[in-house]
Chains A and B, each alone.
Chain A
Amino acid sequence: MTYIPHSPRERDAMLATIGVKSLEDLFKDVPGKYRFPTLHLPPALTEMEAAAELGELSLGNENIRTDLVCFLGAGAYNHYIPAAVGHILQRSEFYTAYTPYQPEISQGTLQSIFEYQSLIVALTGMEVSNASHYDGATAVAEAVALANAQFHGRRTKVVLSPAVHPQYRQTLRTYVQDMQLELVGDDPETVNGEQSSFTSPESLIPLIDAETALVVVQYPDFFGRIYDYTQLIEAAHSLGALVCVAANPIALGLLKTPGEMGADIVVGEGQPLGIPLSYGGPYLGFFATRKQFIHKMAGRLVGETIDSRGQRAYVLTLTAREQHIKRERATSNICTNQGLLALAAAVYLSLLGPGGLRQVAELCYSKAHYAAEKISRLPGYSLCFDSPYFHEFSICCPRPVSEINAHLLEHGFLGGYDLGQDYPALKDHMLLAVTEMNTKDEIDALVDVLAEVSHA
């Protein structure tokens, strides 16, 4: 039974108000052949037949664990996920993606979010974390929303490093299209002459002025490079602008935190923290900032308090800044968090602890450097940049990346990211990622295939 809450009379009144005769008239811009296409569907299947067919289809997928050795990163990374993560996630008390609508009745859920927030604060070196966003790209966009709210729209410029993930920059453009904001700095073709993408963060400093609300950089950047942004952040602060650092959370287990560099907002993709690759999502956006900006932060926030009996309790706090109360004056119209995946990140970080996380980061670092050194010694290949890097590095290749990747795939390797797709100047440049999951044998085999390809 379909329940439609509007009576025919109400529908007629609505149509009359907007000056349309019938419901069908609302769709007349869509050509008839697309409105009522013939679908040519096969006859219905039984459950058993459907299960067999779907099983058959799923065999066509290539899996990282079973079929392919992965050296692809570019924003999503293949890390080991301890079995306890999945086990805790699937407990029925937790197994919902949503913050409950009567949150305080679900103390366990609120406590897990509070723990998640505390871990993110420790990891980023910041003072407060929200309950998470959809993914790294939307977390970057929410940082821009915070800066815009902080300055009441009086500052209209955002300086965006071209070395921020291309998809994050694209998402950001979608978010700000109706805000009175100008994004500058990330056009690799025109800004600061040639090769602006590939120079140090100091090249962004001349773009910062009194109109700048926010500067956005990535750490390590999209090309895998590690920079200390302290100087850039000081320059931005001297002109009153805020700085957002989009960081890799595993790298933060080893490197100086953006908080120590003076960042105002630290965001990032939380997928490396115990969340499977899953062909691109769902992932987790983390968002941390300083206390002074807490009222301009989007998203939900869990706080710790005591109840009427003096016992420790958790509440959703500072909710008056959110959209359901502040309406159009809120920083953002999004307060959804990735509850289940934030829990995965919290469980992952708790299982590893600071020492374990550092060990994962050191393994990534050492293996990536072993791979990079071997590959750069192959004829025709070289490291594109001489900056320090973490677990990802850019390689100049002797042949188009697509051809090299086709060869690698034949040998069971998922090859690197083709940087020429987003940066025309980086044609034949490949971005390779190495994590703790890659064994020395796998790296040696990769190097052998790359050597073979160069003179094929």
Chain B
Amino acid sequence: MNIPANLKYSKTDEWFDPATHKAGLTDYAQSQLSDIVFVEIMVAVGDTLQVGKQMASVESVKAAAESYAPVNSKVTAVNEGLPDTPELLNSDPYGKGWLVQLEGGDASGLMDAAAYTSYCEERAH
């Protein structure tokens, strides 16, 4: 499992990068979903998001999932090309598979890598 130390994590399996302000689905989430065939980003630049607001809808060959805002924030960019290449969510979840870029996020309510690692391990049992 790839859980980079520089990122913060939500209980609904989103990552948030305090340096770049980008957010996306974690490696754990993509591995649970298996092959992702569809992603739809449901927020637009300028939208104000509260924690828990739905940002994206994701479908894999076996499941459907939603992605939620990890922090209270405003959307400054969305990954426009992602719907045409949803497999990037599987192959590069922390890089080319980013979903949105957010402004004004307070990451203090999120887990660090160590806490998220135990959170994922707990659910594996």
State the A residues within 8 Å of B (CB): 152, 295, 318, 320-321, 325-326, 329
Question: Would B66 and A329 count as touching, CB distance under 8 A?
Answer: yes
CB distance from B15 to the nearest CB of A (A): 22
Question: Would B37 and A326 count as touching, CB distance under 8 A?
Answer: no
Chain B positions 57-107 with a Cβ under 8 Å from a chain A Cβ:
57, 59-64, 66
CB distance from A314 to the nearest CB of B (A): 15
- Inter-chain CA distance A318–B37, complex, in Å, is 8
B42 contacts partner chain A, Cβ-Cβ < 8 Å: yes
List the B side residues contacting A325 at CB < 8 Å.
62-64
- Inter-chain CA distance A389–B62, complex, in Å, is 47
CB distance from A317 to the nearest CB of B (A): 8
B17 contacts partner chain A, Cβ-Cβ < 8 Å: no
Question: Would A329 and B57 count as touching, CB distance under 8 A?
Answer: yes
Question: Would B64 and A320 count as touching, CB distance under 8 A?
Answer: yes
- Inter-chain CA distance A130–B33, complex, in Å, is 24
List the A side residues contacting B42 at CB < 8 Å.
152
Taking each of B37, B60, B64, which has the highest tally of chain A beta carbons within 10 Å of its own beta carbon?
B64
- Inter-chain CA distance A321–B38, complex, in Å, is 9
Q: Which residue of B lies closest to A317 (CB)?
A: B61
CB distance from B64 to the nearest CB of A (A): 4
Q: Which residue of B lies closest to A315 (CB)?
A: B61
List the A side residues contacting B59 at CB < 8 Å.
295, 318, 320-321, 326
- Inter-chain CA distance A318–B61, complex, in Å, is 6
List the B side residues contacting A320 at CB < 8 Å.
37-38, 59-64
CB distance from A210 to the nearest CB of B (A): 15
Q: Which residue of B lies closest to A321 (CB)?
A: B59
List the A side residues contacting B64 at CB < 8 Å.
320-321, 325-326, 329
* Closest 7 pairs (CB-CB, A-B): A320-B59, A326-B64, A320-B64, A295-B38, A325-B64, A320-B63, A321-B59
CB distance from B17 to the nearest CB of A (A): 27
Query: C-beta contact mask, B99-117 vs A, less than 8 Å → 1, else 0?
Result: 0000000000000000000
- Inter-chain CA distance A152–B61, complex, in Å, is 22
Q: Which residue of B lies closest to A152 (CB)?
A: B42
Q: Which residue of A lies closest to B62 (CB)?
A: A320
- Inter-chain CA distance A325–B59, complex, in Å, is 10
- Inter-chain CA distance A329–B59, complex, in Å, is 12
Taking each of A152, A318, A320, A326, which has the highest tally of chain B beta carbons within 10 Å of its own beta carbon?
A320
CB distance from B56 to the nearest CB of A (A): 12
CB distance from A123 to the nearest CB of B (A): 27
CB distance from A313 to the nearest CB of B (A): 15
CB distance from A305 to the nearest CB of B (A): 11
- Inter-chain CA distance A152–B60, complex, in Å, is 20
List the B side residues contacting A321 at CB < 8 Å.
38, 59, 64
CB distance from B60 to the nearest CB of A (A): 6
Q: Which residue of A lies closest to B40 (CB)?
A: A295
Q: Which residue of B lies closest to A320 (CB)?
A: B59
Q: Which residue of B lies closest to A326 (CB)?
A: B64
List the A side residues contacting B40 at CB < 8 Å.
295
CB distance from B85 to the nearest CB of A (A): 15
Jot down 24 A-B pairs with beta carbons below 8 A, ordered by A: A152-B42, A295-B38, A295-B40, A295-B59, A318-B37, A318-B38, A318-B59, A320-B37, A320-B38, A320-B60, A320-B61, A320-B62, A320-B63, A320-B64, A321-B38, A321-B59, A321-B64, A325-B62, A325-B63, A325-B64, A326-B64, A329-B57, A329-B64, A329-B66
- Inter-chain CA distance A329–B37, complex, in Å, is 17
Q: Which residue of B lies closest to A327 (CB)?
A: B64
List the B side residues contacting A329 at CB < 8 Å.
57, 64, 66
- Inter-chain CA distance A35–B79, complex, in Å, is 61
Q: Which residue of A lies closest to B37 (CB)?
A: A318
